[in-house]
Amino acid sequence: MRDCYQRKITYLRVSVTERCNFRCFYCRPREGGACSGSDIPLGHVVRVVEAGTLVGIRKVRLTGGEPLVRKDITEITASIAGMDGIDDVALTTNGSLLRRYAPALHQAGLRRVNISLDTLKPDRFQRITCNGRFEETWDGIEAALEYGLHPVKLNTVVMRNVNDDEILDFVRLTERLPLHVRFIEVMPIGKSSKTAKGQLVTAEEIRQKLDSEYSNPEPIKSVGGDGPARYWKVPGAPGTVGFIAPLSGYFCDSCNRLRLTSSGTLRPCLCQGDELDLNEALNRGADRAELAALIAEAITRKPRGHADDTIEPVVDRLMSQIGG
C-alpha cells in the first residue's frame, strides 16, 4: 500500500519489549523504573503482522528495548517467519545474549541482525551501557557470523566527546571482518532529547575522517535490507562502512516503514507523536480485515517528513518504547 505521498509501505518495525538489560545513557533513565507497562503479547504481535500482510507489509524487524530479554523471542520469530507474505525477518539487539539465542533464532527463520555497538573499548562500553560487558556483546557478534546471520550490521551512534575518537577504529574493523558498520547521527529522542544537539557529529564529518585515511573508498549500492544507510567499502575489505544521517541527510521521502510500539500502538513516524492505538481492537478479538483497515489508516497518517536539520525533540516516548 502507498501512503498519501506515494511511498510504498512494506516494512514494520516491532518493539516486542521496552525492557533492556543495558541502560545506555542516551537512551534510558539510569534511576528509577523506566518501564511503564508489560510487553505486547505474542498473540497481538502475530495478529498485527498477519493483518499487515494484507496491506503490503513484507519485512519485519524485531526490536526493543532488548528483544532477547523476552523468553518467547524464538517463538515470535518462528511465527512471523512462517507467515505467507513475509519475505524477511530481522532483529536489532545489543548482542549480549545473542550467543545463547543465535542457534534457535536461526533455525526459527531469523536471517539478519543489527547489533548496537558504540565503542570498542571495554571500559568505555561499561560507562556507556551502565552495566554491560563488551566481551558478551563481542561474543554475540562472533555468534552472528558463525550462524550466518548475514549481513551482520553494527549500529554505532557517534557522539561528540564520547566516542568520536573511535571512528577509524571501527572502519579498520571492516578491513578484517565481514562486518557492516553504520555510523548513525545521535537523535533528540527520549533521554537524549536535551543533549543530542551538543553531541551531534554529522555524517559529513565522519565521512571526512574516512577520506583522511583512505583515498579511494568504493561506493556500494546495498549490503542487504532496505534501510536508509549509504555504504562505502575500503578496497579489499570484506566489510563496509555506512552512514545514516537522519538530521543532516534528509531521507523521509523514501521512508517505507511503520512502527508497532511495545504498548500496542502504531506509530507512522519515528519523530512525531501521532499514534494509532490497536489495543481495543486486539483485546476484543477484531478480525484480520479490521486490523488491516487500522494499519491502512496509520499508513495514510504518515506525514511527509521533517525539514532538514529541524527534527523536534521527541519527548513522548523513550526510544526503547518506540523501537530502536
> Which pLDDT score, from 0 to 100, does residue 89 have?
97
Q: pLDDT of 197-221, one tens digit each?
A: 889 999 999 999 999 999 889 999 8
Distance in angstroms (rounded) separating the CA atoms of residues 183 and 118: 9
> Which pLDDT score, from 0 to 100, does residue 251 have?
72
Instruction: Categorize the per-residue pLDDT at 165 as very low, low, confident or very high, splitting at 50, 70 and 90.
Output: very high
Residue 61, phi then psi, degrees to nearest 5: -120, 125
3-state SS string over 155-182? EEEEECCCCHHHHHHHHHHHHHCCEEEE
Is residue 306 pLDDT above 70, yes or no? Answer: no
Lowest average pLDDT, out of 33-37, 148-152, 318-322, goes to 33-37
Q: pLDDT of 70-87, one tens digit each?
A: 999 999 999 999 999 999
Question: CA 291 → CA 204, 235, 279, distances in Å?
Answer: 42, 48, 10
**Nearest C-alpha neighbor of 183 from the set 170, 172, 194, 193:** 170
Strands 240-244 and 179-185: parallel
**Nearest C-alpha neighbor of 143 from the set 197, 196, 101:** 101
Instruction: Categorize the per-residue pLDDT at 317 as very low, low, confident or very high, splitting at 50, 70 and 90.
Output: confident
Instruction: Categorize the per-residue pLDDT at 192 as very low, low, confident or very high, splitting at 50, 70 and 90.
Output: low
For the chain, give the mean pLDDT: 91
Is residue 62 pLDDT above 90, yes or no? Answer: yes
> Which pLDDT score, from 0 to 100, does residue 324 have?
64
Task: DSSP letter for 311, please.
Answer: P
Q: Are the beta carbons of 52 and 4 closer than 8 angstroms? A: no
> Which pLDDT score, from 0 to 100, does residue 246 have?
78
> Which pLDDT score, from 0 to 100, does residue 310 have?
58
Of all residues in the chain, what percent carry a pLDDT higher than 70? 91
Is residue 27 pLDDT above 90, yes or no? Answer: no
Q: pLDDT of 88-134, one tens digit each?
A: 999 999 999 999 999 999 999 999 999 999 999 999 999 999 989 99
> Which pLDDT score, from 0 to 100, does residue 190 have?
63
Segment 5-17 shows an average pLDDT of 96
Is residue 249 pLDDT above 90, yes or no? Answer: no
Instruction: Categorize the per-residue pLDDT at 193 as very low, low, confident or very high, splitting at 50, 70 and 90.
Output: low
Q: Is the dihedral of CA 158, 163, 167, 170 positive or negative?
A: negative
Instruction: Categorize the per-residue pLDDT at 191 as very low, low, confident or very high, splitting at 50, 70 and 90.
Output: low
In angstroms, the first-to-last Cα distance of the chain is: 24
Out of 31-45, 168-182, 248-262, 296-310, the most confident range is 168-182
Instruction: Categorize the per-residue pLDDT at 312 as very low, low, confident or very high, splitting at 50, 70 and 90.
Output: low
Lowest average pLDDT, out of 162-166, 254-258, 279-283, goes to 254-258
Q: pLDDT of 48-58, one tens digit each?
A: 999 999 999 99
**Nearest C-alpha neighbor of 50 from the set 275, 251, 289:** 289
Domain 11-322 classification at class level: alpha beta
Query: 9 forms bridges with which residues in the sheet?
Result: none
